Amino acid sequence: MRILVTGAAGMLGLDLCEAVTAAGNDVCAFPRAELDVTDAGAVGLAIRTTGPDVIVNCAAWTDVDGAESAEDAATAVNGAGAGNLARAAAAAGAWTIHVSSDYVFDGSKASPYLESDPTGPASAYGRSKLAGELVVAESAPRAHTIVRSSWLFGAGGKCFPKTILRLAAAREQLTVVDDQVGCPTFTGHLAVALIEIAGERVPGVVHVAGAGACSWYGFAREIVSSAGLECEVLPGKTEDLDRPAPRPAYSVLGTERGPAVPLLPDWREGLRAFMAAGVRTA
């Protein structure tokens, strides 16, 4: 199987390219510097030239707060860019896997969000990700998988655990919000699941995230404890941060797709794998 990966220099993209090769498949890695997904002509040429069986779109605008003042730019990448890939993939007979986000939900539910739950993003970033989902489904109606995941962290890029490790090593005390709950997801685990989905051609929307759930505060405490640091972690409130973009208070992802959806290990196992990689700085 030949898999084309966009955003190949990003956190998930790096792990995915490594996992594709480890699984004995061919990878066509396109970092942003080599393929701008907003350029439809370049996207079409890349797909025609490489002839992939599957395209996994890891390219994304990920600056949640920045999207509030630059929604058009965020949507150009997360929406129109995703559409460019799906259309070119469909024309070439390739399957599209589009990585989306828990932020397509508003966070008002009190039980895990399922694939059939209505979307209602509260932020510009969430709206841009939902735009991507809609255009992928329209552009490749019979040959796509939309994979919603959440709270990604990994060795290859900026992420919450790296930030907490850096701050906890320098401070005696940290305050982290405890009123946002989600599913921390290790990109090394998600990458393997994406390859499984590619092989099975699982259609439609699926939720794939680290098992279990916690708040950012709970996540931070586990990170600090895992590193053996002495920093005290205190609970805080989202409203005290005064950040531009609203965040879902509850965005735990569940699935109703049964055995079609790969189940990831518990988020604590993901953290252990992250720590074992020896990544201790931001």
pLDDT reading at 37 higher than 80: yes
Q: What is the pLDDT of residues 120-166, one digit of tens each?
A: 999 999 999 999 999 999 999 999 999 999 999 999 989 999 999 99
The domain of 139 spans: 2-157+183-212+251-259
Report the candidate in 18, 26, 22 with the shortest Cα–Cα distance to residue 55. Answer: 26
Q: Domain for residue 168, yes or no?
A: no
Q: Domain for residue 174, yes or no?
A: no
Report the candidate in 99, 95, 101 with the shortest Cα–Cα distance to residue 140. Answer: 95
Report the candidate in 249, 6, 246 with the shortest Cα–Cα distance to residue 126. Answer: 246
Q: Domain for residue 167, yes or no?
A: no
Backbone angles phi, psi at 56, to 5 degrees: -110, 115
The per-residue pLDDT for 140 is 97
Confidence tier at 67 by pLDDT (50, 70, 90) = very high
**Are 238 and 177 spatial neighbours (Cβ–Cβ below 8 Å)?**
yes
Give strand pairing partners of 147. 99, 206
Confidence tier at 279 by pLDDT (50, 70, 90) = low
Tell me the percentage of the chain whose pLDDT exceeds 90: 96
Confidence tier at 38 by pLDDT (50, 70, 90) = very high
What is the model's pTM? 0.96
**Are 80 and 43 spatial neighbours (Cβ–Cβ below 8 Å)?**
no
Q: Domain for residue 88, yes or no?
A: yes
Least confident piece of the model among 60-64, 231-235, 265-269, 274-278: 274-278
Q: Domain for residue 147, yes or no?
A: yes
Q: Domain for residue 96, yes or no?
A: yes
User: How many Å apart are CA 244 and CA 117, to the nearest integer?
Assistant: 26
Report the candidate in 44, 70, 52 with the shortest Cα–Cα distance to residue 124. Answer: 70
Q: Which helix (H) or strand (E) holds 98?
A: strand 95-101
Query: What's the whole-number mean pLDDT along residues 234-244?
Result: 94
The per-residue pLDDT for 277 is 85
**Are 146 and 130 spatial neighbours (Cβ–Cβ below 8 Å)?**
no
Q: Where are the alpha helices (DSSP H) in 39-112?
A: 40-50, 64-67, 71-75, 82-92
The per-residue pLDDT for 260 is 87
- Residue 80, Cβ neighbours under 10 Å: how many? 17
Q: How many helices (H) and strands (E) does the chain have?
A: 10, 12
Confidence tier at 111 by pLDDT (50, 70, 90) = very high
User: How many Å apart are CA 269 and CA 189, to the nearest integer?
Assistant: 9
Q: Domain for residue 162, yes or no?
A: no
Q: Domain for residue 146, yes or no?
A: yes
The per-residue pLDDT for 56 is 98
Q: Which helix (H) or strand (E) holds 132?
A: helix 124-139
DSSP state of 211: B
Query: Residue 220's Cα: distance from chain center in Å?
Result: 19
Q: What are the catalytic residues? A: 125
Number of domains in the chain: 1
Q: What token pair was written down for 95?
A: 């399957």
Tell me the percentage of the chain whose pLDDT exceeds 70: 98
CATH number at residue 98: 3.40.50.720
pLDDT reading at 282 higher than 80: no
